[in-house]
């Protein structure tokens, strides 16, 4: 049963409605980085400016699609299955890149790599694993912690 003030009261810290004014601070988790790709001596710099909270769901789906494609490749029984799994892997990699880099920059990366998604992933995966993934995991942990706090308040 919701208390007086409903969900808003549950989301705000205790004491928020006691008549005192306060400033409630909210921090957004932005990832602002640059990735430099050496394209045969020509430096290409890509700007990454995303909200980890905003991409969390898409990022998780893209990772799942890559895992599914890897499993399909391992289970491939013939050339047809292998070709289908390679196509699924390429699409999954491109999907992950679109989440991280956006459509325009993903197209730019694909041009640099002549649409070779596996080579592209091999070169850029360390950036995603070392820079993007930890920030997305932090966002996921913050969201889970907020949910736990709201659940605890709602149960009292």
pLDDT at 1: 45
What is the tens place of the pLDDT at every residue in 21-45?
A: 556 555 666 778 899 999 889 999 9
Please tell me the distance from the alpha carbon of residue 113 to that of residue 115, in angstroms, as a whole number: 5
Considering only CA atoms, give the Rg of the chain: 21
Residue 95 belongs to what H/E stretch? helix 79-112
Asked, for residue 1, whether it belongs to a domain, the answer is: no
If one counts the domains in the chain, the total is 1
Coil, strand or helix at 153: helix
State pTM to two decimals.
0.73
Asked, for residue 23, whether it belongs to a domain, the answer is: yes
> What residue numbers bound the domain in which 71 lies?
6-154
């Amino acid at each position: 049963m919701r208390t007086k003030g409903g969900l808003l009261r549950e989301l705000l810290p205790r004491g928020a409605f006691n008549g005192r004014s306060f400033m409630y601070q909210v921090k957004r988790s932005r990832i602002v980085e640059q990735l430099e790709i050496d394209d045969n001596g020509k430096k290409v710099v890509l700007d990454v400016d995303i909200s980890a909270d905003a991409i969390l769901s898409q990022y998780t789906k893209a990772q799942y699609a890559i895992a599914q494609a890897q499993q399909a490749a391992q289970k491939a029984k013939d050339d047809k299955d292998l070709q289908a799994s390679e196509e699924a892997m390429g699409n999954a990699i491109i999907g992950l890149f679109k989440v991280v880099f956006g459509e325009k920059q993903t197209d730019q990366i694909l041009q640099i790599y002549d649409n070779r998604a596996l080579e592209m992933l091999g070169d850029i995966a360390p950036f995603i694993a070392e820079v993007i993934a930890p920030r997305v995991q932090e966002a996921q942990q913050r969201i889970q912690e907020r949910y736990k706090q709201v659940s605890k308040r709602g149960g009292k």
